[in-house]
Amino acid sequence: MSYRNRSALRGGEQLTLNATATAETSTKAPPGGESRNNTGLTSTEFGFNAALAVPRLIAPNLPLLDVRLPNSDFQPRTTFGTGVRYVTRTGFFSTTNFNLNYGYSWKTKITNEQELRPIDVQYNLVSTTPTFDTILTKRPFLRNSFEQQFILGSSYRYTFNQQVLEQRRQQIFFRARWK
């Protein structure tokens, strides 16, 4: 479910709210899971995120940082985002992921879009059952994915998209991302 307000603060700011809920189940029990009355695995996920896009660059006043785009016909944006996601696999584990980000997106031409997120923070909480702990003990490479983690990072994305040019017969779409 999504909600979008295209003038949230009365200055052209765009507020986007997203909520997700999913459920998944299998009809056959996994090996060793027959003690649960031969039922399959059940997974559920709930998530919520919010993003605010401001139609200008908001940046600290640093001497080496020039935030002007001199030859651009497109409005740059500053984005703020936050979210939470809860995933549970009944009888095995549950995870809660929190994220917070801040960044910029701009176009230099109609086909070229760039996004820079200097701040991209994630915090993951994990809770496992004793049954799942025995699986993780046998597979240490998998254990790293199920540990509590704090991740501070940055990212950059470049998109080249000729699909906006209607007269072209053959269109190219290219996206590269660095984290």
Q: What is the DSSP string of 98-141?
A: EEEEEEEEEEEETTEEEEEEEEEEEEEEEEE-HHHHHHHHH-HH
Asked if 50 and 84 count as a contact pair (C-beta separation under 8 A), the reply is: no
Look at residue 158 in the predicted model and tell me its pLDDT: 95
CA–CA separation, 117 and 137 (whole Å):
36
CA–CA separation, 82 and 102 (whole Å):
9
Asked if 173 and 161 count as a contact pair (C-beta separation under 8 A), the reply is: yes
Look at residue 144 in the predicted model and tell me its pLDDT: 84
CB half-sphere exposure, 96, CA atoms < 13 A:
2
Look at residue 127 in the predicted model and tell me its pLDDT: 92
Look at residue 37 in the predicted model and tell me its pLDDT: 55
Look at residue 175 in the predicted model and tell me its pLDDT: 94
Query: Per-residue confidence of the chain (179 residues) as pLDDT tens digits?
Result: 999 988 878 888 999 999 999 999 887 765 655 555 556 678 999 999 999 999 888 877 755 555 565 556 778 899 999 999 999 998 889 999 999 999 999 888 888 999 999 999 999 999 999 988 988 888 888 888 888 999 999 999 999 998 878 777 788 899 999 98
Q: Residue 47 is encoded by which pair of tokens?
A: 């998530």
pTM comes to 0.75
Look at residue 39 in the predicted model and tell me its pLDDT: 61
CA–CA separation, 89 and 139 (whole Å):
18
- 62 φ, ψ to 5°? -110, 145
- 55 φ, ψ to 5°? -80, 50
Look at residue 11 in the predicted model and tell me its pLDDT: 82
Look at residue 155 in the predicted model and tell me its pLDDT: 92
